[in-house]
Structure 1
Amino acid sequence: MSAPLKIGIVGLGKMGGIRAKTVRDCDDTVLVSGTDPNPPAQGFQDIKILPDYRAVIDSDVDAVIVCAPNRFIPEVVESALDAGKHVFCEKPPGRNLADIERIMEAEKRNPGLALKVGFNHRYHYGIMEAKKIVESGKYGDILWMRGVYGKAEGSGNPNEWRDDPEVAGGGILFDQGIHMLDLFRYFCGDFVEIKSMCTTAFWDIALEDNVFALLRDKKGRIAQLHSSFTQWKHRFTLEIFMQDGYVIVDGMPSGTRSYRDEWIIQGRKHVGFAIGNPPEEKTFCNTDPSWDLELAEFVDCIRTGKPIHNGTTKDTYEVMKMVFGIYDADPQFKQEQEKKLQSRNR
């Protein structure tokens, strides 16, 4: 049996902690080093805390997990790949399309290495079940999709990097709503037309806190998104309606449990006594396998040389292009944001 893969983590904040636990729980990986500008006092006593990302890359690791703020991810990923390390990085891996293009160029220079981006929602039980239901064809082709994904936390702290355009690159859509856009692509492929309204409705930040978007693919199928930072009652809902029925993924068993437990609901179109209210089959899930499954695919690709299936740089580029397409589709928001940025930089 091969020795466990040695892993180093760049960024030991919330996501770094989640990734560290997953690495420790996996029999085929061992966490050996990490770095953070403000290392946590607890939770990492068993590893080497190093001064910077270069030291982590040089610390005899097989792979690097990058959990840094968006602005710094491209530099770390590029350096790790060029040093011969496999890389797993959080989404979005940068602030703009130029950043992901930089990463893709580094990937091309190092074809023997695995590079995976963390779109873990594809590994939620409800999403995996919905994918099986859709692909079975039991309800026919997809007609439309509707996704609502929102949260409420946010201190308005000016030191929060996710609220800084120069570090984050975008607001709630870029930080959280991008997951729902990735799922739209997962089920329907690329979209060719976008309509949107973006707003900063509540928080005193120079980024959007709510986005409403309509997207149409080349088959004419429409997806509707509401991404919100003022969803005072946390919500994750993905509805997929097909010719003869539907599947709904409602809730998400996150670490905070604030999105409720997950239900997979499916029903068949009814034309008789139950028209408009058909019998439904409901499946309950209160566990989240996504972190473990995501790491398992990454490790398997390293071990076998198989290409990454979920979380490819191509998927990442396309979904980031959707994000900026949504921003661009609301010129009024773009103008207002530009004024805020100019005022902020004075």
Structure 2
Amino acid sequence: MGKIRHKAMESHGGFDVVVACDTAIDPSATVPMVTRPSDVYDFAPDVVVCSVPNIFIPDLVCTALSHGKHVFCEKPPGRNSSDVQKMITAERAAGGSVLKFGFNHRVHDAIEEAQKLLSAGTMGDLYFMRGVYGKAGGPDYAKNWRNDPEQSGGGILIDQGIHMLDLFQMFAGNFCDIQSFVQRKFWTEVPVEDNAFALMKTPQGVVASLHSSATQWQHTFRLELYLRNGFISVDGILSASGSYGAEVLNIAINRLDSSGNPSPNPELQEIRFTQDLSWNKEVAEFYDAVVHGKPIKCGTSQQALDVMQLVEAIYQADPEWSQTLRTSATEVTG
């Protein structure tokens, strides 16, 4: 992710990358490298890009903010809402420093076009949403740091499902009523979930359902929004891995029959996107916030807190899973 951000900054222009920090020096690096995060401040950067495992995020972000630096940080924003609260406190104390989290799905072309359609109001009120985001765990699944709860905070839900939850909240606002089933089915020796099913409702009555899966053997992204006058769906999402296929926006406007009722199977309009510009858009917004003082719209600390609280609520809404989490915590602390 650090290399992806570096490439996007070079493409944008206006950034001068002065140092990179990693666990080992890369002999092919084109910039100076250090292995201790504290050493980056010897190079007097204005901006710190934080692309690290979740466990390290809050301390590194808070330290950067305390040094008066602007910070761009990957998602998930830590391991839990307490991590986000800690960073919000540091953000407020830092005054004018910019803090942005990398929820790049918000600025994918298909998602932005869907948001424009909703905002225009011509398709009427939003009734409900469905989202499926899943992948095959892969041969090194059990060894991946993302599946160590001490480092990550959870499994597939916090790692990947959090993107879909963030989109749900972007389209419909926060949820007040949450039910869930969180399961460990295939990788039973791994201490995090490999599937999460959630059903949520906003105070306004918009219902959303999510399936976040590490046993979706065919990598899948599908987001559906059903409105009074039709529906919008996004099938596939352009990604660094290229494994989710093309990014396709489908739009259908209801046609009414002679009695004024919607006819089944309205005609679809399909728009395909072939370029992932989300990384560039995120860097551009961050640059404008730092250099021109423009507000962050995607990836604010409040959005990060809202979605992390929703993740926690989904974990807690399944009594069996929340008991598993409490038992695991007792074993660790005991």
Residues 195-344 of structure 1 correspond to what in structure 2 (within 5 A)?
195-203=179-187, 204-272=189-257, 275-339=263-327
How far the C-alpha of 1:30 sits from its partner, in A, is 2.2
Distance 2:269 2:141 in 1: 44
Instruction: Give aligned pairs, total.
Output: 330
Distance 2:249 2:12 in 1: 28
Which structure 1 segments of 5+ residues have no match? 1-14
Residues 77-88 of structure 1 correspond to what in structure 2 (within 5 A)?
77-88=61-72
| Higher relative contact order (CA closer than 8 Å, sequence separation 6+) | 2
How far the C-alpha of 1:17 sits from its partner, in A, is 1.7
Residues 1-346 of structure 1 correspond to what in structure 2 (within 5 A)?
15-42=1-28, 45-156=29-140, 159-203=143-187, 204-272=189-257, 275-339=263-327
Deviation by residue 1:86-136 (Cα, 9 ceiling, x = unmatched)? 000011121111111110010010121110001000010000000001111
Q: Aligned letter for 2:101?
A: V
Q: 1:39 to 1:222 in 2, by over 3 A?
A: farther
How far the C-alpha of 1:306 sits from its partner, in A, is 2.2
Indicate if the aligned counterparts of 2:157 and 2:195 stay in contact, CA closer than 8 A.
yes
Distance 2:238 2:148 in 1: 29
Deviation by residue 1:300-326 (Cα, 9 ceiling, x = unmatched)? 000112221110000000100000000
Partner SS, residue 101 of structure 1: helix
Distance 2:309 2:131 in 1: 18
How far the C-alpha of 1:272 sits from its partner, in A, is 3.4
Q: 1:231 to 1:38 in 2, by over 3 A?
A: farther
Q: Aligned letter for 1:145?
A: M
Using the size of structure 2 for normalisation, the TM-score is 0.94
Which structure 2 segments of 5+ residues have no match? none
Q: 1:325 to 1:143 in 2, by over 3 A?
A: same
Q: Which moved more, 1:29-38 or 1:236-245?
A: 29-38
Give the percent of matched residue pairs that are identical in Structure 1 and Structure 2.
42
Task: Identify the residue that residue 10 of structure 1 maps to in structure 2.
Answer: none
Partner SS, residue 58 of structure 1: helix
Partner SS, residue 232 of structure 1: strand
Deviation by residue 1:17-60 (Cα, 9 ceiling, x = unmatched)? 21121122221112221111134454xx2101112111113312
Q: Aligned letter for 2:210?
A: L
Q: 1:268 to 1:232 in 2, by over 3 A?
A: same
Q: Aligned letter for 1:107?
A: E
Root mean square deviation of aligned Cα = 1.8
How far the C-alpha of 1:345 sits from its partner, in A, is 8.5
Distance 1:104 1:209 in 2: 30
Deviation by residue 1:207-229 (Cα, 9 ceiling, x = unmatched)? 11100000100111100100011
How far the C-alpha of 1:153 sits from its partner, in A, is 3.4
Distance 1:175 1:90 in 2: 11
Indicate if the aligned counterparts of 1:71 and 1:168 stay in contact, CA closer than 8 A.
yes
Q: Aligned letter for 2:18?
A: V
Q: Aligned letter for 1:124?
A: H
Distance 1:230 1:284 in 2: 27
